[in-house]
Structure 1
């Protein structure tokens, strides 16, 4: 069965963090963190509809300028989420440039930016044709843990400690819809955009008798949603993808991460130091490889990948991976 989401780390483990998540058969993508993104093709960067930033240390946010440069002058609406002070960080980025010509652009880039804190969320709009100057105060909303609810998935966050608030992210697919190609062939149906409408109706729990119009050769056929689903679809549990970076191995962080990452299908977790240097990790509020593996094992993650490794270990990545794997195997629940 082909997964809906295809996550991959944009850069080498020693380079800036960015987890890019492609959507199968859709011209859209998400990113967790936005370090340098020169390894991404422009067409992929322009797929981004939502960007989730753990914190604004430069290695996690330097790619914003690259994204902005490519998206400018296009008719795009992009959502960004980040931790406390994120609105001032975005305003500072945008305020560093001169926008005296953008009010003449025919196409307008719009940024909907949300700052996440334990006290609540604040959302501000920045519009290219307004020279990225806000035209209204930020809109406030309560903090529930959920950042995005889409028909097929949700994105949630947890607030962790890195000496500054740092967000962890979770993408959870509601359920996965596998299309049985042999059933399509038997009915004389061909894959196409109608499948997205079909899946959307299932995710939104539309009434069973909802009509789904399907091209069949030179004609159109109408099917009831429930009958069509029973014939051509196999429903399986959805994926859970979790992203954790730049956190201290403190009791509070450990408790929150274990609950947040419980039974993840794929956990992406930083492993900045070897455990022999755990005192340096404690001082800099990062994880060691052994701590990363322990968290992956104790949370019951089915698969995990380490990233964001200190350059001091440039020739020792196998040690990092081995140390994490040994801890994972030892603590696997």
Structure 2
């Protein structure tokens, strides 16, 4: 089969590899679509680790076409995948946070992922409920967004976002825009997006933001939206050090700020400690999501056609490496490799 492989920072290529065969309790998916995440780009840049030779792709959807003895997922099932292989017995796993398992392995980084014609799903994922049924009539690119949407739901949960409550998002890239889509679906508002790129600001407004502005306008526009109080919830969706202090300025007293984005290694932040103390701000971080939020994300897909607007570039598998170039050059928003 054909697959995209990561060999070293700056080097990916589509090659021929053996077709995967399911072992006991395992299934094989014919991949329909896989999204390119900023984490994939960080691996490409050498900012994040992955096994040399691994097939990337942790945001994907497909159809079960083969099953080993003992596998329970029926042939023909169309699913999205929670790609985290966890130990199942550590404290985090017992508490329902497999995404925090200290022994975790992830498809696309440690084990072969979905940027291929077929992908083998390990027994631990099949048995653990990590194959999420999705509506096969939905566009494949939307079905592949269960993983990033689950991550955004974890962010909004940590921020305590609820109907009628305001949200500011610093960074209007694909994940920032998913915050807008999900928060609007929950009834949150007003929503402010802070983004220097005019095309992304326009997309934010189309997807439900009340205001999308450049960073130098953010404080004035944000205070105007909130009667001078600031926002109860602020998500930092871009890995730039200067985004964090701006997020704190947008937060109201007793507000929450989530460092959702990953940052380059060695990044340090300069924050006003007295602001954190006297304004009683809560500064948190989230990374990936527990399985229950993957299930919620899969159930939400039919009600979120706006997600389709976030995918602006589609590539066949033979040109999967071009998705990296498009992302690095900031062409459009999110790229996806589509096989159906």
Q: Which has the higher Rg, Structure 1 or Structure 2?
A: 1
Ranked by relative contact order (alpha carbons within 8 Å, sequence separation 6 or more), the top structure is 2
**TM-score category (smaller protein):** under 0.3
Per the normalisation by structure 1, the TM-score is 0.25
- Whose strand fraction is larger, Structure 1's or Structure 2's? 1
Per the normalisation by structure 2, the TM-score is 0.24
